[in-house]
Structure 1
Amino acid sequence: MFPGISGSELEADVTADVSALYEDGITARKGAFSVSWVNRLREDVEAAFEEARGRAGGAVGRGPNRYYVEMHPEQIDGFVALVDHPWVRSVCTAVLGPEYRIVELGFDVPLAGAVDQPWHRDFPVPEETRRERRLTSLAFNVTTVDTTPDMGPFEIAPGTQWDDGPDFEHGMFPPRSRYDRYRERAVRKYPLRGDISARTALTIHRGTANESATSRPVLVLGVDGPESANGERHDMAVTRGYWDTLPDRVRRHLDCPLVEELTPVTQKHTIEGLVMGDA
C-alpha cells in the first residue's frame, strides 16, 4: 500500500493509519503533543487571528461566525515540532511518497454562534483519485482546545471520499438528495489538546453549530503529493533567515518561496458555498 517504499523505511508504524485513510478517510494519533505545546500554539493562533481580522482578505468567511486564516510557518513557534513529528512524517511518506510537499498552514475558527455548514469536500476529486482510487494530498488538524459536544465539533461521513458525480456543485457540494447517506454515516470528533488527525479533504464533512460561548480554533497543515497542485491556492512563504534555521529534512519538504520580508497572506481559496451555512 505504501507508494514505492517499504514499511521499514518509516519512522513510525502507520499501516493501520493508511488503511483508515483509504477506508474511512480519516485517522488520528492521540497525545502526539504536550498540552503546554498546544497552549503556546493557541497563543500564536489567536495573535494571527486578531491581526488577520484587522485587514481586508485576512480572515475569510466559511459560514456565519466561522473563519479561515492562512499563515506563514514562522508565525507559530512549534512549526518544526509539528512537521517533523515522526507520525506526521511517516503518514505523509506512506500515503504521498517520499517527495511530499508542505503547501499550507492555517487555521479554522468556529466562533460562538457558528452554524452547521453544508456537507462538502474541500476541492473537486483529482483525476488520479478518480481513475486510480489513490490519495494525492492530506490535511492534518490540531485542535487548540479540548473539544466538547456544544463547541461545534467537526463531523465527517467515513468512506465518502470516493463519492462523486456530475450532481456535485463545483465538484464539492453534494445535492441535498444525498444528505441522508451522510447523516447515517456521520461521526463527530472530540479531539483533546495534544491530539492530531490526518484526513483526505475529499471525505464529505462539515463543521457543526457552536452552541457554546467559546471559540474552537483548529490548526490546518496541508500536504501534497508530487502530482497535486493544491499549493497554487496558497501563499505560504518563509524568510531566508528562518529558512537557515530549519533542519534539512524539513526544508526538503517545504514548498514555498524564500522572501526577505513576510507579507500577510490574502487567502485565495474562498469556498463560496460555505458562506451562508446550511441554510
Structure 2
Amino acid sequence: MTTADNAKPAPSMSMSAEAPAATDNQAPINATPYADPRYSVPAIMAGLYGDGIIGLKGAFSREWVARLGEELAVLYQQALARPGGAVGRGTNRHYVEIHPEDISGFYDLVTHPWVQTVCESVLGPNYKIVEIGFDVPNPGAKDQPWHRDFRATSETLVDRRLNSLAFNLTTVDVEEDMGPFEIAPGTQWDDPSEYDHGMFPPVSLYPRYHALAQRKYPKMGDISVRSALTIHRGTANTSNKPRPVLVLGVDAPGAGHDEWHDLQFTKEYYEKLPQNVKDHLICRVVDQLEPIMQGHTIEGLMMGDA
C-alpha cells in the first residue's frame, strides 16, 4: 500500500521505545544467549503455552504511540478510499495490511528487546516477520463470533508446538465500552475438527469460551503477544470512539503464513536496515511499493459485512 501525496510518515531508525535499564549488579535470569536478562524465558514460555497470551506494560512511550495512532488514522482513510484496501471483520470493523515503512516506528517495534526475546524463545532464533497491519473496531462494531485467526496445523495439533505469534499494540487507552478484546485462555490446544473452515467453533461450544473469557484493557504503550490459535473475539463497541490496534505477525521457519501476506520494502529503506533485522524478514524488495491485496476473505465472509 502506498500513501497519497505527502501524508506518508518518514521512516525512523531511532530506538525511542525504552525498556528499564538493568543495574550493574543484576544477574541475568536467563541462560540463553539471545534472551534479554530483564525478561524471563520460563515465564514467556509458560504464558504462551499456558494461557496463550502475555503482555508487557509500558513498553513504549505514550508519545511514540500517539504518533503511531496519527499515522494509522491517515492510512485507514486511504485504505477505505481504495477498492480492496480494507477487509471487513464484522459490522463496523476492518483490518488493513500495511507496508512497514508506512509507519515511522517499525524499526523500534521489531528491535524492542521484549519482542525479540519472545520471538526467539518461542519461535527460535531464526524467526520470520511476515505481516504488519491494524484492526479498527469502530463505534457500532458488534460482538465477533469466537474464532481463531487461521487453521491449526499438525505442528500444534500433533507435535504441540506453537509456530506463529501475533503481537498487538493499542493506540488508545481501552475502556469497557470500546469493544475490548476478549480471549479464552488455553484454547490454542482445542480440537478444531468441528470448526467451520478450521477457525470458527460451533455455537454449541460457546458456553466453554464464555466461562473462560477474559477481557483485556491495555493502555497506550502496552504490548501483548498471543497465539492466534487461542480462541478470541472483538466485543461490541458501544462508545463513540474507534479502538485501533497494530498487529505484527511472526512465524517460526517454515510455518508458511508469509504465503497469505505480501511484506514489501523499497530498496532505499531496506538497505538502511541492519542485517540483524533483515535476517528476520520474509519480504519483497521493490523499486516502488505496490498495493497489498487483502487476504482475509474467509474471516470477512464468516464475520459479515463491515
Please state which band the TM-score falls in when normalised by the shorter chain: over 0.9
Pick closer, same or farther for the CA change 1:226–1:6 going to 2, 3 Å.
Answer: farther
Contact 1:17–1:28 (8 Å) recurs in 2: no
Q: What CA distance in whole angstroms lies between the structure 1 residues aligned with 2:186 and 2:147?
A: 14
Cα shift readout 1:38-62 (whole Å, capped 9, x = no counterpart): 0010111111101100111101000
**1:140 corresponds to 2:167:** yes
**1:131 corresponds to 2:158:** yes
Contact 1:234–1:269 (8 Å) recurs in 2: no
Contact 2:167–2:247 (8 Å) recurs in 1: yes
**1:116 corresponds to 2:143:** yes
Contact 2:194–2:201 (8 Å) recurs in 1: yes
Q: For residues 53-72 of structure 1, what are the structure 2 equivalents within 5 Å?
A: 53-72=80-99
Q: What CA distance in whole angstroms lies between the structure 2 residues aligned with 1:232 and 1:30?
A: 32
Pick closer, same or farther for the CA change 1:22–1:173 going to 2, 3 Å.
Answer: same
Aligned to 1:190: 217
Residue type of the alignment partner of 2:41: V
Aligned to 1:274: 303
Contact 1:14–1:87 (8 Å) recurs in 2: no
Aligned to 2:54: 27
Q: What CA distance in whole angstroms lies between the structure 2 residues aligned with 1:146 and 1:123?
A: 28
Q: How many residues align?
A: 273
1:15 deviates by: 2.2
Structure 1: unaligned runs, 5 residues or longer: none
Residue type of the alignment partner of 1:101: K
Decide which of 13, 30, 34 is 1:9's aligned counterpart: 34
Decide which of 197, 204, 208 is 1:170's aligned counterpart: 197
Residue type of the alignment partner of 2:34: E
1:127 deviates by: 1.1
Cα shift readout 1:58-108 (whole Å, capped 9, x = no counterpart): 010000100000000000100000000000000000000011000000000
1:197 deviates by: 0.3
Between the aligned residues of both structures, percent identity stands at 57
SS at match of 2:188: helix
TM-score of the two chains, using structure 2 as the length reference:
0.87
Contact 1:104–1:223 (8 Å) recurs in 2: yes
Q: What CA distance in whole angstroms lies between the structure 2 residues aligned with 1:47 and 1:264?
A: 16
1:164 deviates by: 1.5
Decide which of 70, 74, 78 is 1:51's aligned counterpart: 78
Residue type of the alignment partner of 1:20: G
SS at match of 2:70: helix
Q: For residues 85-234 of structure 1, what are the structure 2 equivalents within 5 Å?
A: 85-234=112-261
**Over the residues paired in the alignment, what is the CA RMSD in angstroms?**
1.3
1:6 deviates by: 5.0
Residue type of the alignment partner of 1:10: A
Residue type of the alignment partner of 2:304: V
Q: What CA distance in whole angstroms lies between the structure 2 residues aligned with 1:153 and 1:170?
A: 25
Decide which of 249, 252, 267 is 2:276's aligned counterpart: 249
SS at match of 2:276: helix
Cα shift readout 1:201-225 (whole Å, capped 9, x = no counterpart): 0000000000000000000000000
The answer to which of 131-140 and 14-23 deviates more is 14-23
Q: What CA distance in whole angstroms lies between the structure 1 residues aligned with 2:31 and 2:44?
A: 15
User: Which structure's CA Rg is the greater one?
Assistant: 2
Contact 1:146–1:190 (8 Å) recurs in 2: yes
Structure 2: unaligned runs, 5 residues or longer: 1-29
Residue type of the alignment partner of 2:114: W
Aligned to 1:18: 45
The answer to which of 180-189 and 227-236 deviates more is 227-236
Contact 2:79–2:86 (8 Å) recurs in 1: yes
Aligned to 2:6: none
